[in-house]
Structure 1
């Protein structure tokens, strides 16, 4: 693959070199361009490979973390695409790799090894400093996002412990997510055993997801209980889109499950801004916490309703 200096300058981590392209040329001359095919393992979690920063030139890679040491089962954390990068922390420490990276398609990467970076520090401090500041800017952004996610997950646990009803629980969780992710429309949809149908428990200040569309999404989740994300629902031919407002462009549907059976869903929509992997991971984490609480609240309220009905019959 032919890669020009102009192509490399388009990558955000190298923007600091726009006024000094000859400095970037000096850096790239000591780096390597590596090719990987779909499914190739680029980095293995736990490896001590000497360290390197990888920049994705084309294609995409998946970051995965082992969550069960015995079975080596891994959880996908993120997908990185062209112009994104990974492995930056290994430039500064000798710790083993904290996650695995697998090519999701044919991809080309720029590899800047720790050895190359350390040589730059000694021979051309200006080049090393520019690269370092670019990396630090992205790291700080990632840390801010991680801090935000931790706060939301903490708040979720607090809401669960303090909510006395399904409506209160759903309302507070939904409003927290809507404020964090700039959601314009949101709904919890939960199956009611007494009525034998799905009901919209709460919506964000009345801006809920259309009920017909909600049932359509629930049907899809029942067939395959995996998170669904649509970048533009108006371009999806198999979705029911009657009376859908224009500001509801991007949509995420997250199943609520018990014993691998879907009993509800959290539906979130906003305009134009596509949900990132970080957004999906955050909402998924919230739903894992909320799922049992919603199920317990639902069962308790249905039991109370049934008891009240029986008392009336007597």
Structure 2
């Protein structure tokens, strides 16, 4: 069923998948390879927020809240990605509620994990005097 709403993309090392501020029109699932999520930090240059591997999802925030991308994504090595567009995601929500529920619940768990990791990093930075 999920194959009906996805496409597959292959990207070479160094390919920019999207950058900060781009429209959030796709959700990605990594099949093979690694993707680096990063953001420009004033006075420091590009800061890697995460390096994601097979089975991990990215691009979901902009798709869920329809805001521009909050970070950029770059192929950290050659990768194959499963892609769900915003339109296909909306169709999934309307036509296949059970599957949409599973996808959304997976996104919620992942976002909760990432929020915990961010909180841990902020705590470390504030207690180490770097914040």
Q: Could you tell me the TM-score, scaled by structure 1's length?
A: 0.39
Q: CA deviation at 1:67?
A: 1.6
Report what 1:154 is aligned to: 126
Report what 1:44 is aligned to: 19
- Structure 1: gaps spanning 5 or more residues: 1-25, 158-288, 291-314
Residue 134 (structure 1) aligned with residue 106 (structure 2): yes
Q: CA deviation at 1:93?
A: 1.6
Report what 2:59 is aligned to: 87
Report what 1:8 is aligned to: none
Q: Which has the higher helix share?
A: 1
SS at match of 2:55: coil
SS at match of 1:97: coil
Relative contact order, higher structure (CA 8 A, sep 6+): 2
CA–CA distance in structure 2, aligned partners of residues 105 and 152 of structure 1 = 29
Given that residues 45 and 65 in structure 1 are in contact (C-alpha distance below 8 angstroms), is that contact kept between their aligned partners in structure 2? Answer: yes
Aligned partner of 2:29 among 55, 63, 79: 55
Report what 1:198 is aligned to: none
Moved over 3 A (4+): none
Report what 2:96 is aligned to: 124
Q: How is 1:165-184 mapped onto 2 (pairs within 5 angstroms)?
A: none
- CA shift digits 1:272-294 (9 cap, x unpaired): xxxxxxxxxxxxxxxxx39xxxx
Q: CA deviation at 1:155?
A: 2.7
CA–CA distance in structure 1, aligned partners of residues 42 and 117 of structure 2 = 25
Flag the 1:75–1:146 CA change in 2: closer, same or farther, 3 A: closer
Report what 1:33 is aligned to: 8
- RMSD between aligned alpha carbons? 2.0
Q: Could you tell me the TM-score, scaled by structure 2's length?
A: 0.89
CA–CA distance in structure 1, aligned partners of residues 38 and 115 of structure 2 = 18
Q: Which has the higher strand share?
A: 2
Report what 2:70 is aligned to: 98
CA–CA distance in structure 1, aligned partners of residues 105 and 11 of structure 2 = 28
CA–CA distance in structure 1, aligned partners of residues 81 and 65 of structure 2 = 21
Report what 2:80 is aligned to: 108
SS at match of 2:65: coil
Q: Tell me the matched-pair count.
A: 131
Given that residues 27 and 84 in structure 2 are in contact (C-alpha distance below 8 angstroms), is that contact kept between their aligned partners in structure 1? Answer: yes
- CA shift digits 1:117-152 (9 cap, x unpaired): 111111111110011111111111111222222223
Q: CA deviation at 1:84?
A: 1.4
